[in-house]
Amino acid sequence: MAVGGRTDVFAGLRPEVPDALARHLHDVDLIDHHVHGAFTVGIDRAGFEAALNEGSTDPVPAFMSQFDSPLGLAVRRWCAPVLGLQPLASADEYWLRRAELRPADLSERFLRAAGVARWVVDTGFLGDRITTPEEMTSLSGVASSSILRLERLTEDLIEAGASPKDYPEALRAALDDAVADPHTVGVKTIAAYRTGFDVDWSRPADTAVVQSAARQGQRPARVDDPVLIAFGVHEATARGLPLQIHVGFGDRDLDLHRTDPLLLLPLLRAMAPVPVLLLHCYPFQRQAGYLAQAFDNVNFDVGLAINFLGPRSPSLVAEALETAPFAKQLYSSDAFGPPELHLLGSVLWRRAMGLVLGEWVRCGDCTEADAIRIVDMIGVRNAERVYGL
């Protein structure tokens, strides 16, 4: 592609992807319904490679390069041209060229090449090293919305001095503010990282919340009390706020097997029927698709994993299209840090949808118009409906 244009994800693949579908997948502006900011600070090569590993927070060991991974291949293939290099430029070439550009230059290039109409930004993590939603808008030229992370909100309230006795009302007031803020379109829980899903998800009484808040104390807070987490979830959803839930793939702080979304069944059966968004879900995408069929209010995506699977992402996208109605799946990149990830989520999803749905069209399983409609639902319309955009 030419620098500054939108990446042509079907270059050389046209025969496998019908024309109108390929054109539509190239042109459609996506809603990235779960994304973080891009780095505002310069990083060295070690920092860049570490940012290509989701599972570990350690430096990449000396015996290997994170470029030697499915995601590393995808960076070389799809991101090199955005920097004016040939596709599949070597890791060293890529790094040399990237190091010439300032963080804002990189973000502007990659964010604009992604073809995104709106960023729905989770602002709850490492806010000082990455772009704010406003900066995302400024760099990309398109709108953004915010997602309020519940555990961070609780930690902020405690650190700001809310006493245990006052905590329930303080949280309610903060959520009332969120409801009133047009920029905030939902909340998110990272219970996956703090408690796992095999906890008591029933709605706690205020007295239990006060006791848990007292145990938590005023120390620099890392909330991992299931009562506090369940309280936040129920209070937010009772107010009609859509609920994003981190599911599956993440760093090794979490117990991956305790983030199987099926463990959320007690919550899903009991909570207010506001939209639930199961995020990422790998390797539990089939379980997530099942829940999206079984519960009217459950939706899911396979973001984050699409990036990390690189060349294998079409297979993941295909598995995500197994049992869920097409109205119950969304697009996200879950990019964080290197703006390459904001582009790759979009490029790899478009490409995977083209390969999977293109095969359906070729085999007679749906019309090309059907395929285009499925793209619009998952890429744009479902997010509009769920978040009321």
Binding residues among 42-81 for a second copy as defined by CB under 8 A: 53-56, 58, 61, 63-64, 66, 68-70, 72-74, 77
- Whether a cis peptide bond, with omega within 30° of 0, leads into 338 is no
User: Residue 92 or residue 159: which is nearer to a second copy going by CB?
Assistant: 92
Q: For a second copy, which residue of 5, 84, 87, 240 counts as binding (CB under 8 A)?
A: 87
274 contributes a contact to a second copy by CB under 8 A: no
Q: Is 377 in the site for a second copy (CB under 8 A)?
A: yes
Q: Does 310 bind a second copy (CB under 8 A)?
A: yes
- Return the amino acid letter for 315: S
Choice between 32 and 319, CB closer to a second copy: 319
Name residues contacting a second copy, limited to 335-374 (CB under 8 A): 360, 363-367, 370, 373-374
Indicate which single residue of 241, 309, 347, 380 sits in contact with a second copy (rule: CB under 8 A): 309
* Contacts for 361 with CB less than 8 Å, ≥ 6 apart: 18, 21, 367, 368, 370, 371
Q: Which of 119, 201, 308, 336 touches a second copy by CB under 8 A?
A: 308
Q: Which stretch in 113-121, 143-151, 171-179, 257-265 sits in contact with a second copy by CB under 8 A?
A: 257-265
Q: Does residue 293 belong to the site contacting a second copy (CB under 8 A)?
A: yes
* Span of 129-137, 176-184, 188-196, 315-323 interacting with a second copy by CB under 8 A: 315-323
Say whether residue 325 binds a second copy (CB under 8 A). yes
Cβ proximity to a second copy: between 178 and 263 the closer is 263
Angstrom distance (rounded) from CA 134 to CA 221: 27
Closest separation in Å from C-beta 324 to a second copy:
8
Q: Binding to a second copy by residue 272, rule CB under 8 A? A: no
Q: Which of 32, 260, 334, 340 binds a second copy (CB under 8 A)?
A: 260
For position 389 contacting a second copy by CB under 8 A, the verdict is no
Q: How far is the CB of 132 from a second copy (least distance, A)?
A: 29
The site that binds a second copy (CB under 8 A) totals a number of residues, namely 72
251 binds a second copy (CB under 8 A): yes
Q: Is 327 in the site for a second copy (CB under 8 A)?
A: yes
218 contacts a second copy (rule: CB under 8 A)? no
Any contact of residue 92 with a second copy (CB under 8 A)? Answer: no
190 lies in the binding site for a second copy (CB under 8 A): no
Candidate ranges 5-13, 102-110, 217-225, 237-245; the one touching a second copy (CB under 8 A): 5-13
